[in-house]
Amino acid sequence: MIPQVQFLFSFFMSRNKPIVPIKLYKIFIIIFLLCAVLHSHLSYGQVVYDNNSVTVETAGPLSFTVPAGTDRLLVVYVGAFSTGDSGTAAATFNGQSMGKAITSEDFFAISHATSIIFYLALDDGAAITSNVTISGINSVGFIGANSYTGVDQTTPLGNTAQDIGDNNVTATSHTLSPTTSSGDLLVHFFTTASAINASLGGEATAFSGFSLGPPNQIVGGYKIATAVSHNLTTNFESAFGVWAHVAAEFNQVSTAPELDVRNNADNADITDGSTTINTTLGTDFGTVLVGNTSSSTFRAENNGTGTLTFGTDALAISNTTDYSITTDLTNSGTMAASGVEAFTIQFNPQSLGTKMCTVTIRSDDADEDPYTFQLQGLSPQIPTINLSVSTNSGAEAATTAITVTATASSTVTGNQTVDVGVSQQAGTITAGDYTLSNTTITIPDGQTTGTVTFTVADDNVFEGVETARLTISNPSSGVTLGSTTTQDIAITDNETVTLALDASTYSVNEGDGTVSVDVVISNIPTGNMEVAIPAVINTSNGTATAPDDYTALVNSTQSFPTTASNSDKLTFSITIDDDSDIESSENFTAALTSTLTGVTIGSPSTTTVTITDNDIPLPTVTIAIEGTTTVTEDSGGTITYRFTRTGDTTTNLDVNYSIGGTTQNEDFTVTTDANTTYIPGTRTGTITILAGNAFADLVITPLDEDLIEAAETVVVKIENP
């Protein structure tokens, strides 16, 4: 930023002319002197008036162009008819606030009217066209503007007033007396004279001398070497009474703020608009993994001589996804000259890739608002970790040593770790079943693998086959877990127990309902058992079939508890079906197995179960003719058919019969009673062999029909016993 400057402005005004605002500029002689400052190591240049002056007799705004150049200075002078506005008066150009150098409310001809000079030092560069806007003044009479280049801006002029005339100024020679030395003296006349010139005597080195500017204006620039008087000579004098004064105070301190940003170590500047990314400046956050953070602290410094005021949003960042402000600047806060305020930006990447961010600081620094610089951070692809083992099985007898490996998808940065734990996947894994060389797997910096050793332990406890599950977890910040985080290791036991059936044959009566088959355990090791021992029974049909004769057992399982002792038994109950069939003895088999590896099946491993029938056999019924088999119709004889049973005679036995042959119903009669029935229509009947009897007789008597017939037959048949 170019430091702001201070200077003094003097009005010369007629006492006798009426006050007409639109004519004011014709009766003014304006002399203002300026000393401004660049940095002390620069050499003094030539003060050059841009031959550029505009005056308007309105309240503005005033459109004005500052030409391209270096060490440029814009001067704006305002005359007002109102008083009491010097404290609120303000001017802006191109969006920048102008400094206020001189205010006066003591003009003779305009009672307590106000005159103000504003100034603005501008950066080197191209021409700037903008409006000069005045505010805070109730009644503006006119606005004038001039611009200069080559103004030495190392030492601004103060505001000590020096009278150069009063009433009618007829003299053409005036004495200017600076109180201190060194600086540029800028003299600007504005008069109604048509032919004007001026010179400055004394100890002064001319830069450009006086030259004619726009109509009725003369400008000149001089370097003042020491604090001696200088004679200002003009060729014109005012015909009217004039009161005026001139400033002649040099080497005053600028009150302009100057914002600079430095790294936290305070050994490097971060210039406005900087895109430099490096760790020295703190603008390079380096490599940060997703989910992690890195912070940089910076110094906001006021290296000017005036108070710096921050904007309402003092500090802002463009990338609020991956960056955040953890220590902010004070919004609308102030910072005294030489003051420092630290602020901190944190990089917290949310995704992979290079992340850029623009930092913006708002303040009243005239030429560095906003003040910006770039930040950069990188979030690389994080290596993923998968778990593997040299073998997924081991044996107690061999005390197998198994290498457990954590493998990264790419080389790791810094030592990276994962925790490894052992849990029970099957069986009863305990700490006594294995040793693990370390519960943390470390992958060294620049490597892709790290290992620990899992060793199977040999004990004297029956466990069967156990399965240990190894799991990695809790990855360090430089890695993430992959898709394979577990491995199972099956441990084969070298202890055993024996199961056997307690008999190779069983017999059961059909009416007993069930038969019990026992399994016996033996050879239990001295360390006892950590697992229950399952016994499994499956039945198979023989001459007896399921479900007609018994209920089958399919993988029927019972287990000996871990507290079992040798010779303990498990009893399996098999249901026997009690039917009414008269059968011979039948049998089926039952076989013993176990689902647990390490269990020996002893002898006998199968048994035969015989079922004895409990049903009485049914009797056999036969029929035969007792006595004669031939009889004539009129002989009075009968034919007897005897139904005889063999076997059980303890109950009545009903036998169904039918009568056939060549006879008709009218050819015979059947002797019936309580134990014998006959239905002529169907020629069927029932005869009962009473309990305790082995037979019953059916008697048929021929009938005489007085018909001449051939011989006829009667056939009796058993239909159902």
* pLDDT of the residue at 231: 62
Q: What is the pLDDT of residue 32?
A: 35
Residue 195 above 70 pLDDT? no
Dihedral in degrees, nearest 10, Cα atoms 73, 79, 85, 89 = -20
**pLDDT on residue 233:** 65
Segment 513-522 shows an average pLDDT of: 95
Max avg pLDDT among 99-103, 233-237, 357-361 = 357-361
What tokens does 324 get?
Answer: 């955040």
- Name the more confident of 480 and 191: 480
**What is the structure's pLDDT at 433?**
84
- Whether residue 596 contacts residue 463, with contact meaning beta carbons closer than 8 Å, is answered with no
The strand order across the sheet containing 497-501 reads: 569-575, 514-522, 497-501, 599-601
Which band of pLDDT confidence, cut at 50, 70 and 90, is reported for residue 301? very high
At 49, give phi and psi (nearest 5°).
-80, 135
Q: Give one word for 136, left, alpha or beta, with left for phi > 0 and alpha for psi -120 to 50.
A: left
> Given this model, what pLDDT does residue 169 score?
43
Angle at 238 between CA 15 and CA 235, to 5 degrees: 170
Range in 160-164, 214-218, 401-405, 551-555 the model is least confident about: 160-164
- Using the predicted structure, report yes or no on whether residue 39 has a pLDDT greater than 70: no
Binning pLDDT at 50, 70 and 90, where does residue 17 land?
Answer: very low
Peptide bond into 525 cis (omega under 30): no
- Average the pLDDT over 535-548 and give the result: 95
Please say if the pLDDT value at position 190 is more than 90: no
Least confident of 161-170, 490-499, 507-516: 161-170
Share of the chain above pLDDT 70, in %: 73
Q: What is the mean pLDDT of residues 673-699?
A: 93
Q: Is the pLDDT of residue 172 over 50?
A: yes
Question: How much is the mean pLDDT over the chain?
Answer: 78
Q: Per-residue confidence at 622, pLDDT binned at 50, 70, 90?
A: very high
Among the listed residues 531, 467, 461, 520, the one whose alpha carbon sits nearest the alpha carbon of residue 495: 461
Q: What is the pLDDT of residue 637?
A: 87
| Contact yes or no for 76/112 (Cβ under 8 A) | no
Close Cβ partners of 339 (under 8 Å, ≥ 6 residues apart): 301, 302, 308
**pLDDT attached to residue 561:** 93
Phi/psi of residue 291, each to 5°? 95, -5
Residues 587/609, Cβ–Cβ less than 8 Å? yes
pLDDT at 252: 32
Contact criterion met (CB below 8 Å) for 103 and 89: yes
* pLDDT (average), residues 290-299: 92
pLDDT band at 161 (very low <50, low <70, confident <90, very high): very low
Instruction: Tell me which range, 14-18, 74-78, 104-108, 595-599, is most confidently predicted by mean pLDDT.
Output: 595-599
**More confident of the two residues 396 and 35:** 396
**How sure is the predictor about 337, in pLDDT bands with cuts at 50, 70 and 90?**
confident
pLDDT category at 55 given cuts 50, 70, 90 is low
Q: Which residues are within 8 A (CB) of 238 and not within 5 positions of it... i.e. 6 or more apart?
A: 12, 14, 29, 168, 169, 170, 191
Tens-place pLDDT, residues 201-215: 655 444 444 444 444
pLDDT at 23 (0 to 100): 32
Q: Is residue 58 pLDDT above 50, yes or no?
A: yes
Give yes or no for a contact between 688 and 652, defined as CB atoms under 8 angstroms apart. Answer: yes
